[in-house]
Structure 1
Amino acid sequence: MSLTLLKNCTLCPRDCQVDRTRGQRGYCRQTEELVVARAALHMWEEPCLSGANGSGAVFFSGCSLGCVYCQNYNIAQGLAGKPITIARLADIFLELQRQAAHNINLVTPSHYVPQIIEALILARGKGLVIPIVYNCSGYEKIETLRLLEGYVDIYLPDCKYWSREVARKYSHAEEYFAYASAAITEMVRQTDKPVINEEGLMTRGVLVRHLTLPGYLEDSKLILKYLYETFGDKILLSIMNQYTPLPQVNRYPEINRRVTEQEYNDLVDYAIAIGIENGFIQQGDTASESFIPEFNCEGV
């Protein structure tokens, strides 16, 4: 795929229109140069992705959404990572496959779609066969997702907000839900119903994550209701309680705490009551910085 798409970059809904091939940086803070902060087996995804061996997670630097509470704040802000070539990215994919990764997990990849496609073409030519996971914020453009058809096996989007006000306050993207709902529709069109193999591993389909924010139970309920009524068994759902308030949220005292056990249990009870059966919940004390890996360029 030609990298000319980066000359007037409109890959994400921000539509910055900067020339990244000449070193200009838009909202994602990245030029055309590929920057990766970590590439390693990752055990902290849903069981159908991590399995026994781990997901082959490749964490890209930069982000087109930039939530104020981001758990991967250093890489989202472009503060960590190492520049690499497309050929090196292809080799990383193959190295993770040799380490017995169940899949290649592209984390925050939206602003690098043209380079990733080139790397996948190279890697497939050298024997890459495990599923490709597109792990994103949900803040995606349909036009960009269509470039990925035939390259991505599993879509792993967030669906963060229902309310425009909440989306504006914490992600500066009041139109978030409009983009995310359209993106999930496109992802389902490309992959159809989830496929789980005999080992309990997901090999195709869409798994939508929702991270519960403290104090926003009603917003979460509206999201789950929409997803279930719209997509039914065409998606899997993951209802997450691992929200961890990091130092940068001190300016937002209303979310500068963990989700209470009661809040999360209420949301899970609601999901069951409306008929949601296909998905995952988290148990125990998952709100911990242990879920946040070291972005020290391991495997890069």
Structure 2
Amino acid sequence: MKPPLPIDEQINHLVEQGILIGNRAFARCCLLDTNYYRLRGYWMTFEQNGAIHKGTRLEDIWAIHEFDRELRLWLWRLIERVEIKARTQFAYALSLGFGPDALSRAELFSNRKSYKKSMEAVEREINHAKKQGMPCVQHNLDKYGRLPLWAAVEVMSMGTVSSLYGNLRDDLVIEGHTGTVSEEIAAAFGIAAPYLKSWLRHLTMVRNICAHHNRFYNRLLKTRPRMLRRDKKWSSNREFPTFVTLKRIYEISWPDEWKEELRAFSNLISSYPSVSLRPMGFPNNWREVLGVDNPSTHES
């Protein structure tokens, strides 16, 4: 393994890599705030065939680092609404159709192995909430010895809800209803069930990137969202499909909030004029695609 390097030697190593350091005090502050190894991920944008582009400054790399930090906070805020609505609709449909203990009914789900794994996750999440002294958990456990579904979803992760929803039986119908449970939940988002299943999986991955403060900018995303027919031209393993997916969800559920958040996103981009959006797969007409009202002079 490589030996650890003091900050001054780390700065020297940046210079050896071909990164221009105009202010060593600034470089020192950057490396005290952010691990050298973490920063390494951000200068990959300036590399080709293992060599850093001539003229690359530490300030350019740091601008991407800061842009990415603020972008993750923006994404986290938008995904929060989706996560809470998914919890709500999942609990409402299942508990109304199959009772407060619907989660314990394995016959409602398609894949038993996946169901067992999800229920183990639910148990861990409930135990964690119990240790944290979460009032609704403690109340229900003290009174009933278990949690009704509408209380359980409040401690379940987005990944657990997504997995359980994706595993609902395709023929599962509530008595007296015409559509399947999966379709009824998806209808609350204004889309078909296959899309919601895909979008929740994708946004769970993005949410986890944000939650663990990992780099989102210029990243290959393993879980790609299923695109609507009109959006198929934007399909890729880059980040732009995430924004298209959020637009489709928000324009149905929270159209006013989408306009407001787009203004915040546009302002964020304007704050970092040196940061290119091309490594995230943004097309030249991305403002038109996402519905940004106020075009700026920022070039993607």
Fold match (TM-score > 0.5)? no
The answer to which structure has the higher helix fraction is 2
Choose 1 or 2 for highest CA Rg.
Answer: 2
The answer to which structure has the higher strand fraction is 1
Q: TM-score, normalised by structure 1?
A: 0.29
Q: TM-score, normalised by structure 2?
A: 0.29
